[in-house]
C-alpha cells in the first residue's frame, strides 16, 4: 500500500469521528459541553493510535499520527469556539 493511500485511510476516519463527535456535542450536550469535547478529542487520539497499529506499517507512523491528532484538534477547536460564542 502506498504511503499516500495509507495516510488517507488511517487519517480521514479520525477526522470524521472528531467532526461527528463535535457536531453531536454541539447539538445534544447541554450539560458540561466542554467536558464532552475533551472526551471526543481523547477518543479521536485513541482511534488514531488504534488505526496506526492496525496498519502494521512503521514507515511514516509519526507523520500519520501527527496528521490525525492535529486535524482532530483543529476540528475540536472550531467546535469549542462555536460553544464559546454560543453561550
27-37 pLDDT, tens digit per residue, is 999 899 999 99
Residue whose C-alpha is closest to residue 18's, from 49, 48, 46, 40: 40
Give me the pLDDT at residue 56, please: 84
State the Cα–Cα distance between residues 57 and 54, nearest whole angstrom. Answer: 8
pLDDT tens digits for 13-63?
A: 999 999 999 999 999 998 999 999 999 999 999 999 999 988 888 888 888
pLDDT in tens, 71-82: 999 999 999 999
Residue the block writes with cell 479520525: 14
Residue-range definition of the domain harbouring residue 39 = 3-86
Q: Is 79 exposed, middle or buried (0-12, 13-18, 19+ CB in 10 A)?
A: buried
Torsion of CA 87, 15, 18, 23, to 10 degrees: 50
Which among 43, 46, 49, 54 is positioned nearest to 18, based on CA atoms? Answer: 43
pLDDT at 45: 96
**Structural domain count of the chain:** 1
Amino acid at each position: 500500500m502506498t504511503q499516500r493511500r495509507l495516510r488517507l485511510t488511517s487519517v480521514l476516519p479520525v477526522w470524521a469521528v472528531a467532526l461527528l463527535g463535535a457536531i453531536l456535542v454541539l447539538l445534544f450536550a447541554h450539560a458540561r459541553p466542554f467536558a464532552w469535547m475533551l472526551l471526543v478529542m481523547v477518543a479521536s487520539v485513541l482511534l488514531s493510535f488504534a488505526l496506526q497499529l492496525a496498519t502494521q506499517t512503521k514507515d511514516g507512523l509519526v507523520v500519520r499520527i501527527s496528521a490525525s491528532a492535529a486535524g482532530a484538534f483543529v476540528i475540536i477547536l472550531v467546535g469549542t469556539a462555536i460553544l464559546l460564542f454560543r453561550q
